[in-house]
Amino acid sequence: MSKKEIKKVVLAYSGGLDTSIILKWLQDEYNCEVVTFTADIGQGEEVEPARQKALKLGIKPENIFIDDLQEEFVRDFVFPMFRANAIYEGEYLLGTSIARPLIAKRLVEIANETGADAVAHGATGKGNDQVRFEIGALSLNPKIKVIAPWREWDLNSREKLLAYAEKHEIPIAKKGKKSPYSMDANLLHISYEGQILEDPNAEPEEDMWLWTNSPEKAPDKAEYITIEFEKGDAVAINGEKLSPATILRTLNEYGNKHGIGRIDIVENRYVGMKARGCYETPGGTILLKAHRAIESITLDREEAHFKDELMPKYASLIYNGYWFSPEREMMQAAIDKTQENVNGEVRLKLYKGNVIVVGRNSENSLYSEAHSTFEEDEVYNQKDAEGFIRLNALRFIIEGEKQPQRVAKYLAKEDATPKESKESKSEGFASKLKHFLGIQ
């Protein structure tokens, strides 16, 4: 589809400098009607000012969409992901990644509602978000055109962006001290990239962290909380039933207070490069710990282990932008099946950056004190273990008899004295030869 064929575009619009410039650029370069979409997913900033900025830039009132998606975000995206205990590369709780499919979904919905030919986003050509937005959009509407200005224009520096804004009279907010970092925030996390963080050996300054207390300055007294789960989802805190978004918001408050959820990582981006980022995921860190605790007493051993084997693949699908893929849906169905009995309460102690599980209880618990006790019991015959062990060792017994050389290497004793080097060995031989021949 050529530029001339595009009559209307839906832009993911934050109201900031970049997307305001993109809005004007789309009007000039594509000579098209622009629809703006601003999502409130709990980023902690007012979203209504985006309406006034869009109006000033000539957007029709009926073409301005500002949606509160916080409940949908947590209920339909964050909670399903946490049922899987998803972590990318062992540390990242996927705070930015999981928000992108929701935004892509709403972009396509608005495009369908307004008869738009295309959607547009402000992600750069180096990052993961371009992949997530575009794969998400094309998954839901294969015919939609996606416009990525950062891959088309030559406004590749902040100076050029500011000059463009001044030339076209685009309002620029100038209040307070601007953070030097590239940041993304939603109800699950806040991220920091760029500037000194581009040196993976440079420690970020303390005032970079905007949400959490430092563990050193967190309260000196531990705080106990209880989280209740139903079918793998948190439904109550300290006995009070809460909505999904309120659950996460409340856990964020606890985590921020106690310095929980900071990480500093170097991750492998989908486009091929490594990137260093710092993240605060206070509520999510608490929720993950609690969810694994309730699963520990309600999931069968093999069910739990197989679920853990699936998790890295599931996490990569989310990180790389494949939320709407059939393979993610297939894995989600399997994961959700495991959650049918993940019900009960987990008691946690929060203290100076730590989340400590101190109790877990469920009507569906598989924990049997009668079987696990170290005291005398009447349900477990310890003699049964002998046959169990010999059956599991049977293949090794046969190998040891038929292929003794295979296990011999494990039994060979090494000389305890340091081995001589080749040079010292040759020198010793030469000395002995000279002595034998009578040569001084």
Which phi and psi (to 5°) does residue 259 adopt?
70, 35
Q: What angle do CA 325, 329, 333 make, to 5 degrees?
A: 170
Catalytic one of 182, 296, 325, 365: 182
276 is catalytic: no
Residue that has been written with the tokens 């992949």 in this structure: 131
Residue that has been written with the tokens 């999510």 in this structure: 284
129 is catalytic: yes
Residue 193's DSSP bridge partners are 182
The burial of 233, by beta-carbon neighbours within 10 Å (0-12 exposed, 13-18 middle, 19 or more buried), is given as buried
* Distances in whole angstroms, Cα of residue 84 to Cα of each of 32, 38, 201, 227, 358: 43, 29, 32, 18, 22
Catalytic one of 100, 132, 328, 360: 100
Catalytic one of 129, 191, 262, 360: 129
Per the CB < 8 A criterion, the answer to whether 187 and 248 are in contact is yes
390 is catalytic: no
Beta pairing, strands 274-280 & 190-193: antiparallel
Q: Which two tokens stand for residue 392?
A: 């599991």
Beta pairing, strands 118-120 & 64-68: unpaired
Catalytic one of 14, 18, 117, 328: 18
Which phi and psi (to 5°) does residue 141 adopt?
-150, 95
Per the CB < 8 A criterion, the answer to whether 38 and 69 are in contact is no
Q: Which two tokens stand for residue 67?
A: 């949606």
**Residue length, the chain?**
440
372 is catalytic: no
- What is the number of alpha carbons within 13 Å of residue 89 lying toward its C-beta? 15
Gap between the Cα atoms of 53 and 56, Å rounded:
5
As annotated, the active-site residues are 18, 100, 129, 182
